[in-house]
């Protein structure tokens, strides 16, 4: 990620007027054109106001800034500034790059897969920290990673199996964690353990014997839902400009 720190030198008596101008003109224009505001701060003396913006890269910052300056809201802001008079004495911009991630997201997103082979056996794993149960392979979604890419990566890392996904079979919320389960097929590789998994197998499970393998209650509904073989479409895309990355149309087996 790439960051811009804007430091405005203001007169204390102008802080309220500047904040109103920022929220009515500057912030909406930047937001709709793709910038993300990390936060704004004012010094105790109220002589400086600092804003930090986030961009995917320097190249994206340049494109977003061009859109901001050509937007009709920018012209409205200039006209309004002429009416209000000088709201700030000076502005300084500093370019910043992150040294790491230090805050936890409000929601943690995880993905797992109900993956079957040509024998209709299901790929299950035992991890070192949950060795009491088998479970579906999966893991966390990294920053800027789509759900399908994250799951395929996690499954290869954990099990050695290459998969083709079909769609989403269920979404589950547990406090701050959102878990998405995909249906998929094994298309390559062979089962092998990793630094996270102590056992990896394709196992013939069904609604009768599932509790012999899945020992933790929160995992059982996810497996039973996926076992029905029904899933909904899933689409991954990016914007500015729009580009479709992946679309899984889902499937539904005839009952």
127/236 same-domain check:
yes
| Residue burial 55-82, b: 16+ Cβ < 10 Å; e: rest | bbeeeebebbbebbeebebbeebeeeee
Instruction: Note the pLDDT tens digit of each residue in 17-48.
Output: 999 999 999 999 999 898 999 999 999 999 99
**Lowest-pLDDT choice from 54-63, 96-105, 158-167, 193-202:** 96-105
DSSP per residue over the chain, as a string? -EEEEEEEE--GGGHHHHHHHIIIIIHHHHHHTT-EEEEEEE-TTSSEEEEEEEES-HHHHHHHHHHHHHSHHHHHHHHHHHHH----SEEEEEEEE-S---S--SSEEEEEEEEE-TT--EEEEEESTTTTS-B--EEEPPTT--HHHHHHHHHHHHH-EEEEEEEEEEEEEETTEEEEEEEEEEEEE-----SSEEEEEEE---TTTHHHH--STTTHHHHHHHHTTB-B-EEEEETTTTEEEEEE---B---
What six digits make up the tokens of 172? 């589950």
Instruction: Note the pLDDT tens digit of each residue in 47-75.
Output: 999 999 999 889 999 999 999 999 999 99
Q: Is residue 102 part of a domain?
A: no
Q: Total structural domains in the chain?
A: 2
Q: Is residue 167 part of a domain?
A: yes
Instruction: Note the pLDDT tens digit of each residue in 198-239.
Output: 999 999 999 999 999 999 999 999 999 999 999 999 998 888
239/119 same-domain check:
yes
124/229 same-domain check:
yes
Burial grade of 151 (CB within 10 A; 0-12, 13-18, 19 or more):
buried
Give the pLDDT band (50/70/90) at residue 254.
Answer: very low
14/131 same-domain check:
no
How many CA within 13 A on the CB side of residue 241?
0
86/141 same-domain check:
no
Q: Is residue 103 part of a domain?
A: no
* Cα-trace Rg, the chain: 25
Q: Is residue 255 part of a domain?
A: no
Say what percent of the chain tops pLDDT 90: 76
| pTM, full prediction | 0.64
140/197 same-domain check:
yes
What confidence score (pLDDT) does residue 255 get? 37
150/228 same-domain check:
yes
Q: Is residue 253 part of a domain?
A: no
63/155 same-domain check:
no
Instruction: Give the domain-ending residue among 97, 126, 151.
Output: 97
Residues of the domain holding 240: 108-248
145/224 same-domain check:
yes
Give the pLDDT band (50/70/90) at residue 93.
Answer: very high
45/112 same-domain check:
no
Instruction: Give the domain-ending residue among 71, 97, 123.
Output: 97
**CATH at residue 200:** 3.90.79.10
What confidence score (pLDDT) does residue 202 get? 97
Task: Tell me: pLDDT of 253 over 80.
Answer: no
**CATH at residue 81:** 3.30.70.100
Q: How far apart are CA 164 and CA 186, in angstroms?
A: 7
Instruction: Note the pLDDT tens digit of each residue in 182-191.
Output: 999 999 999 9
Q: Is residue 135 part of a domain?
A: yes
169/230 same-domain check:
yes
Instruction: Give the domain-ending residue among 68, 97, 126.
Output: 97
Task: Tell me: pLDDT of 106 over 80.
Answer: no
142/23 same-domain check:
no
């Amino acid at each position: 990620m790439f960051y811009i720190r804007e430091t405005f030198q203001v007169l204390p008596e102008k802080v309220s007027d500047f904040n109103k101008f920022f929220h009515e003109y500057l912030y909406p224009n930047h937001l709709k054109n793709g910038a993300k505001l990390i936060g704004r701060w004012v010094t105790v003396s109220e002589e400086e106001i600092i804003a930090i913006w986030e961009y995917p890269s320097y190249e994206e910052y340049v494109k977003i800034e061009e859109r901001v300056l050509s937007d009709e809201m920018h012209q409205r802001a200039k006209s309004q500034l002429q009416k209000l008079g000088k709201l700030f004495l000076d502005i300084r911009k500093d370019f910043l790059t992150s040294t790491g991630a230090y805050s936890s997201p409000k929601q943690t997103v995880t993905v797992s897969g109900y993956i079957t082979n040509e024998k209709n056996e299901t790929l299950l794993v035992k991890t070192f920290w949950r060795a009491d149960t088998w479970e579906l392979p999966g893991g966390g979604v990294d920053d800027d990673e789509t759900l399908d890419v994250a799951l395929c990566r996690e499954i290869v890392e954990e099990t050695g199996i290459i998969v083709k996904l079909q769609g989403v079979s269920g979404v589950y919320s547990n406090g701050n964690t959102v878990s998405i389960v995909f249906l998929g097929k094994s298309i390559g590789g062979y089962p092998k353990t990793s630094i996270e998994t102590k056992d990896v197998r394709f196992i013939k499970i069904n609604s009768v014997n599932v509790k012999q393998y899945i020992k933790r209650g929160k995992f059982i509904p996810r497996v039973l839902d996926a076992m029905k073989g029904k899933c909904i479409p899933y689409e991954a895309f990016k914007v500015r400009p729009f580009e479709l990355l992946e679309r899984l149309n889902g499937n539904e087996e005839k009952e």
